[in-house]
Amino acid sequence: MALEKVEAEKEVLDKSHQFEKEKLERQNESSKIALENQQLELERANTKADEIAALNRAEKEKFNNNHQAELNAIKAKELKDKIKRDRFWGWLKAILATVALLALIAALILALYRFYRWTTEEPLIKEVERKVEVEKIVEKPVEVEKVVEKEVIPDECTQIRRNGKVYVSCDGVTIDGAPTISDSGVDNVPDLITP
């Protein structure tokens, strides 16, 4: 009995051990499945992140390529404009140099012609054969004194102006402060003596 009891206990223990072992295996399998699911999710997330990063890199590369193309177009246009300006200034310099060279050649030709005429022709002004003396007249300003005579009028006489002429009256009647005889109030005007 005791043996049966021990065997029954052993059997119960084996079953419980088996049950626990199966339980642990199921937990292990569920953990593996959960771990695999997590790894799959992580791989999906990494794949999405990689896809997003790849898209971002592609967009950035496309933007950089477009930007670089625009910069290259601007540089090409600036280079083309610079070449046009340089060509214009080159032609202008060539024209100015040609005009200056032609002017210099013309000046040299005129100078040679003038030098030729000086050496071959007789001078227009000939030598003086006789001397002519010229009298020198010296004028000196002379101060002339002008004598002005002034007639002195005695105190008992008066000067009267009429029609722009000055008359002197010596009858003893004086007229003071009136611009004309009629304004002075004198009725009897004396005979005027002409100067």
Instruction: State the Cα–Cα distance between residues 25 and 32, nearest whole angstrom.
Output: 10
pLDDT tens-digit map of 117-166: 888 887 666 666 777 777 888 788 878 887 777 667 776 777 777 776 77
pLDDT tens-digit map of 52-87: 888 888 888 888 888 888 888 899 999 999 999 999
The pTM score is 0.30
